[in-house]
A and B are shown apart, each in its own frame.
Chain A
Amino acid sequence: MKDKLALTGNEAVAHAMRQINPDVVAAYPITPQTEIVMAFSQFVADGLVDTETIPVESEHSAMSACVGASASGARAMTATCSQGLALMWEIVYIASAMRLPIVMAVVNRALSAPINIHCDHSDSMGARDSGWIQIYCETGQEAYESVLLAMKIAEDENILLPVMVCLDGFITSHAVERIELLEDKVVKDWVGERKAKYSLLNVENPVTYGPLDLQDYYFEHKRQEAEAMRNAYSAIPKVVDRFKNLVGKRYDYLEEYKMEGAEFAVLALSSTCGTARATVDRLRANGVKAGMVKLRFLRPFPAREVVSALSKAKAVAILDRSDTFSNQGGPVFNEIRSAFYEERNKPFIVNYVYGLGGRDIIVEEIEKVYSDLRNILKQKKVETLVNYLGVRE
């Protein structure tokens, strides 16, 4: 029997961590992630977990402690966002390069300046090339389940990479949902015990993590890291298959919504997918052939799945909740546009940067995007490649 509880997205993540019962959690509180650390610390204080919590003095130390714990063979978890992620930056790259299966919740929040505590994806998008796997969650339920999934993906012996589980700050992190929790025992069996191949605490087979690596071998180790992400692309669907037996749904690389027979499509990440789905329903009721694609994994980037899904439409808009300031549009747009280069019959593809600093996005705005797509298809040309949606001129 599954427990049904009224939980915020953050509490849902904390419950996933409680059920995983990691050996070490080192975290530093930062809005809007604080509640995860708070709720988890309560579980520790109540004796519900065996976790060693390390109340570190900064996010740089949080990730450093996780790296040390994970290298010693422990299961380590943390959570952060925004400036916190920015502060732990150098260790974020070290975690993935040392192939340490750390799971970190990232409660997406805008980066300063100007200072802002609300949702956009600037923080985790900056880390998209850090060698971490990235999962973006639409709801609190997805965030809870994604953390459980992430743990097994990270520790899969064919992968061994850290995973960021991203949920939208405030929108998902602080909204209360009816969340179904798996039984504690089911999760315990699902995650099992971590069996690290190389452990700093194994005195029988001592190893060195992080030695100097110069012109002679550094490149080979980076090539291995690239291969790890390629392996992840083939290995993740197998973990997802097994996870389906637990939660009854498939956590595929992406989800299509009404893409069969769609002429116009919007691709989005995280909570905006809910708004886009409502928009599709409204448009479909009016006879507009609208569809939607929800991208769940940004890393590894599922190029084949994205091309196959979006090729069903004739005009496509990519919604980016961050900008690259490169004059080339948002990060998701760039990846997708590049993925289409080899395709002969590609749809028109345009970009909308939206929702920066927590600016709301509403159905009427996404309707406007579909209406732009209809004009593009009618005129057979794109006038503005990169658009800013919901900003005042």
Chain B
Amino acid sequence: MKEKGWKDIPIAGLIVEAGNAEQYETGSWRTFKPVRDVEKCTNCLNCWINCPDSSILVSEEKMVGFDYDHCKGCGICAEICPVKCIEMVKE
């Protein structure tokens, strides 16, 4: 994203649009990324409950993948997984 000049930004450091943290891609902070073994996964969704960045993608009550644009690679999902189907792999 091209950084704007002082004339083109809201005053006082205000964030004038709600929910725009989504536009900030924190995925680039990651050193290790979570990778799932689909065969082992039981869709218990413990990872979804515990992910601090809402980066577990779920569809129709099934875990379908990771939001790598926002996942910071903290590894909580891998730690919490009861069947150890998530592995942290170096980027």
Query: Could you tell me which A residues sit within 8 Å of B by CB distance?
Result: 97-99, 160, 198, 205-211, 213, 216-218, 220-221, 223-224, 227-228
Q: In the complex, what distance in Å separates the CA atom of A210 from the CA atom of B11? A: 11
Query: Could you tell me which B residues sit within 8 Å of A by CB distance?
Result: 3-6, 9-16, 18
Assess the A207–B6 pair: CB atoms within 8 A.
Answer: no
Assess the B3–A221 pair: CB atoms within 8 A.
Answer: no
Q: In the complex, what distance in Å separates the CA atom of A341 from the CA atom of B5? A: 32
Assess the B9–A209 pair: CB atoms within 8 A.
Answer: no
- The A interface, classified by DSSP as helix, strand, loop or mixed, is loop
Assess the B11–A160 pair: CB atoms within 8 A.
Answer: yes
Question: Which partner residue on chain B sits nearest A219 by CB separation?
Answer: B6
Closest 6 pairs (CB-CB, A-B): A208-B15, A220-B6, A223-B6, A99-B12, A206-B18, A213-B13
Question: Which partner residue on chain A sits nearest B11 by CB separation?
Answer: A99
Q: In the complex, what distance in Å separates the CA atom of A210 from the CA atom of B15? A: 9
Assess the A207–B9 pair: CB atoms within 8 A.
Answer: no
Q: A216-B3, A217-B3 are in contact. Are A208 and B9 (CB under 8 A)?
A: no
Assess the B9–A221 pair: CB atoms within 8 A.
Answer: yes
- The B interface, classified by DSSP as helix, strand, loop or mixed, is loop
Assess the B6–A198 pair: CB atoms within 8 A.
Answer: no
Question: Which partner residue on chain B sits nearest A205 by CB separation?
Answer: B16
Q: In the complex, what distance in Å separates the CA atom of A180 from the CA atom of B18? A: 48
Assess the B12–A209 pair: CB atoms within 8 A.
Answer: yes
Across the interface, which residues of B come within 8 angstroms of A221, CB to CB?
6, 9, 11-13
Extra pairs beyond A217-B9, A221-B6 (15, CB < 8 Å): A97-B12, A98-B12, A198-B10, A198-B14, A198-B16, A205-B16, A205-B18, A207-B16, A208-B14, A208-B15, A211-B13, A213-B13, A221-B11, A224-B6, A224-B11
Q: In the complex, what distance in Å separates the CA atom of A207 from the CA atom of B16? A: 5
Question: Which partner residue on chain B sits nearest A98 by CB separation?
Answer: B12
Question: Which partner residue on chain B sits nearest A206 by CB separation?
Answer: B18
Question: Which partner residue on chain A sits nearest B15 by CB separation?
Answer: A208
Across the interface, which residues of A come within 8 angstroms of B18, CB to CB?
205-206
Across the interface, which residues of A come within 8 angstroms of B13, CB to CB?
97-98, 210-211, 213, 217-218, 221
Q: In the complex, what distance in Å separates the CA atom of A205 from the CA atom of B18? A: 8
Q: In the complex, what distance in Å separates the CA atom of A221 from the CA atom of B12? A: 6
Q: In the complex, what distance in Å separates the CA atom of A352 from the CA atom of B3? A: 48
Q: In the complex, what distance in Å separates the CA atom of A217 from the CA atom of B3? A: 8
Across the interface, which residues of B come within 8 angstroms of A206, CB to CB?
18
Assess the A207–B15 pair: CB atoms within 8 A.
Answer: yes
Across the interface, which residues of A come within 8 angstroms of B15, CB to CB?
207-208, 211
Q: In the complex, what distance in Å separates the CA atom of A205 from the CA atom of B9? A: 17
Question: Which partner residue on chain B sits nearest A222 by CB separation?
Answer: B6
CB distance from B9 to the nearest CB of A (A): 6
Across the interface, which residues of B come within 8 angstroms of A223, CB to CB?
6
CB distance from A73 to the nearest CB of B (A): 13
Question: Which partner residue on chain B sits nearest A99 by CB separation?
Answer: B12
Question: Which partner residue on chain B sits nearest A198 by CB separation?
Answer: B14
CB distance from B3 to the nearest CB of A (A): 6
CB distance from A388 to the nearest CB of B (A): 41
CB distance from B45 to the nearest CB of A (A): 30
Across the interface, which residues of B come within 8 angstroms of A208, CB to CB?
14-15
Q: In the complex, what distance in Å separates the CA atom of A174 from the CA atom of B3? A: 53
CB distance from A225 to the nearest CB of B (A): 8
CB distance from B60 to the nearest CB of A (A): 31
CB distance from A219 to the nearest CB of B (A): 8
* B13, B15, B16 interface centre (most CB from chain A within 10 Å): B13
Question: Which partner residue on chain B sits nearest A96 by CB separation?
Answer: B12
